[in-house]
Amino acid sequence: MNSGWQYRAASTVGVALLTAAAVVIVNSGTVQSWLGMMPVLSRLPPDPPGGSEYLIEVGLTVLAVTGALLPLYKPRPRRILDIVMSAHKRVFAAVFALATIGYFDYTYKLPRLTLVAATPILLVILPTWLVWLRRPETDSQRTIIVGDDFEQIASITQESNLSLLGYLCPTPTLAVSSGSEVSKRGSETSVVSDGGYEAIGIDRLGGLSRLEETLIEYDIDTVVLAFAETDRAEFFGALDRCYDHGIRVKMHQACADTVLTATAEPEGPLVDVAIEPWDIQEYVLKRVFDMVFAASGLFVLTPVIVVIAVAIKLDSLGPVLYQQDRTATFGETFPIYKFRSMIPDAEAETGVKLSEEDTGGIDPRVTRVGRFLRATHLDEIPQLWSILRGDMSVVGPRPERPEIDMEIQTTEVDWSKRWFIKPGLTGLAQINDATGHEPQVKLRYDIQYVREQSFIYDMKIVIRQIWIVILDAVSVVLGRSREDSDD
């Protein structure tokens, strides 16, 4: 059994045993008597279970807590504070689940006194156990290189001082550049450059499809990614597998322009990749919120949608909805829908210069109803359908048109970093009034969100956006802009 699986086993078994011990201790006669003398807890009737019911309740508690802490069993290097905060959040989630079970099913509920008393114990002993078990980042020794750019692989091999066991690459022989070639000599791979051989000295362990198998077989601590394109699914697939196995990810700093890396100055040629996917609980919570938000919004706003559709048809000829292609994750595209706020085929004469929401000022192409819809953000309502479909999220970098993305990329080399996560209806840039007119400002906010994203962070952005929409709607009713009302 490699150390990664040993860590998983030790952390899982430890959490289960400590949880069971906490329930057993709290249900002991001495502790129950002591708890009965406390001012608040004395109001909760002591109800220590017995027999098979006792075993069921202990097992149910162990199952709930152990399952809630599932993401923490990965041997991923973490800061102590991150471990403590994450463990606390998941303990509270487990306690809430146990309380819910008790509310709906009296037979298997954990007594309220036991639940209340066991919670602070779990909040102390479980983070302590996980911190004690954590793998120090300095222990990362066993390293492989994974990628499809052999020139990067050769450069990393020569410049890094890591303990390299080998590399994973699609084919054993790849062209490095014009005038250079790669040859295979037994177990040693060499680069032919300018007529001379430059030995790499590490073995090819297989293709990219063997990544997960190799991580387990060789008990890998660190993976260095060497992909020619870092904004594609292959790169993020390898990154996600590494994080799933609790493995630190690095890449050469010369090739890290399009990847979020650690802010600290690198000590060598390699830098740590600073993008970490949401754990499964956060991801599910975000997706559930997206679906509930979108479905509720479409349901509640149905009368408004009908009124808007009728107003658009009465105001001008043409369809009610306006469709555009927007850039999604990894640079892919998806259709986005908005209520039409311009005359039909408005861009046929003027060309594509700005995305529709960025067309500001007095634009003769914008209809009377369209000006009202834009001022109140009501033209964005159909995008709730894109959220429900899964093309968008409620919070994320605002998707731009592919043509605009390509234009901005020519001046902003970091622009594709926005594609690392699903685009959103609103985002940090939107609540700070940053648009495509200011790509540098917008990019700064979007990257800040990519770095700091969390469900709590999303809720703060949503609340602030709702407040902005309310202010804009009030300003329209009062006949003045939000900027004027702020003055």
397-416 average pLDDT score: 71
Of the ranges 171-175, 204-208, 335-339, which one carries the lowest mean pLDDT score? 171-175
143: Cβ contacts below 8 Å, ≥ 6 apart: 162, 163, 164, 165, 220, 221, 222, 223, 224
Total Cβ atoms within 10 A of residue 42:
12
Q: Nearest-CA neighbor of 397 among 362, 439, 344?
A: 439
Based on the domain organization, do 132 and 152 belong to the same domain?
no
pLDDT(264) > 60: no
Number of domains, the chain: 3
Based on the domain organization, do 472 and 394 belong to the same domain?
yes
Based on the domain organization, do 64 and 47 belong to the same domain?
yes
Q: Nearest-CA neighbor of 215 among 50, 423, 3, 438?
A: 3
250-255 average pLDDT score: 78
Which of these three, 102, 136, 170, is where a domain ends?
136
Q: Nearest-CA neighbor of 80 among 8, 134, 140, 9?
A: 134
Based on the domain organization, do 162 and 218 belong to the same domain?
yes
Q: Which residues pair with 190 in a beta bridge?
A: 183, 199
Domain of 264, CATH number, reads: 3.40.50.720
Based on the domain organization, do 329 and 467 belong to the same domain?
yes
Amino acid identity, position 300? V
Based on the domain organization, do 344 and 309 belong to the same domain?
yes
pLDDT at 1: 39
12: Cβ contacts below 8 Å, ≥ 6 apart: 66, 73
Give the residue with greater pLDDT, 56 vs 143: 143
Percent of the chain with pLDDT over 90: 15
Per-residue pLDDT band at 356 (split at 50, 70, 90) = very low
- The predicted-structure confidence for 292-343, as pLDDT tens digits, reads as follows 999 999 999 999 999 999 999 888 888 899 888 888 776 678 898 999 988 8
Based on the domain organization, do 353 and 402 belong to the same domain?
yes
Q: Nearest-CA neighbor of 469 among 386, 381, 407?
A: 381
Distance, in Å, from the CA atom of 280 to the CA atom of 268, rounded to the nearest integer, reads 33
pLDDT at 359: 43
Considering the chain, what is the average pLDDT of its residues?
76
The parent domain of residue 208 ranges over 140-276
pLDDT at 183: 40
Distance, in Å, from the CA atom of 49 to the CA atom of 1, rounded to the nearest integer, reads 39
Most confident range (mean pLDDT) of 162-166, 293-297, 409-413 is: 293-297
pLDDT at 292: 94
pLDDT at 110: 59
Based on the domain organization, do 76 and 182 belong to the same domain?
no
296: Cβ contacts below 8 Å, ≥ 6 apart: none
Which of these three, 216, 244, 276, is where a domain ends?
276
Based on the domain organization, do 214 and 260 belong to the same domain?
yes
Sign (positive or negative) of CA dihedral 153, 155, 156, 157: positive
Per-residue pLDDT band at 49 (split at 50, 70, 90) = low
Most confident range (mean pLDDT) of 11-20, 184-193, 404-413 is: 11-20
Which of these three, 136, 169, 195, is where a domain ends?
136
Of the ranges 102-116, 314-328, 430-444, which one carries the lowest mean pLDDT score? 102-116
Q: Nearest-CA neighbor of 295 among 387, 406, 401, 184?
A: 387
Of the ranges 67-76, 178-187, 358-367, 392-401, which one carries the lowest mean pLDDT score? 178-187
Contact between 168 and 206 (Cβ < 8 Å): yes
Based on the domain organization, do 260 and 333 belong to the same domain?
no
Based on the domain organization, do 43 and 160 belong to the same domain?
no
Based on the domain organization, do 219 and 148 belong to the same domain?
yes
pLDDT at 42: 57
pLDDT(99) > 90: no
Amino acid identity, position 349? E
pLDDT(462) > 90: yes
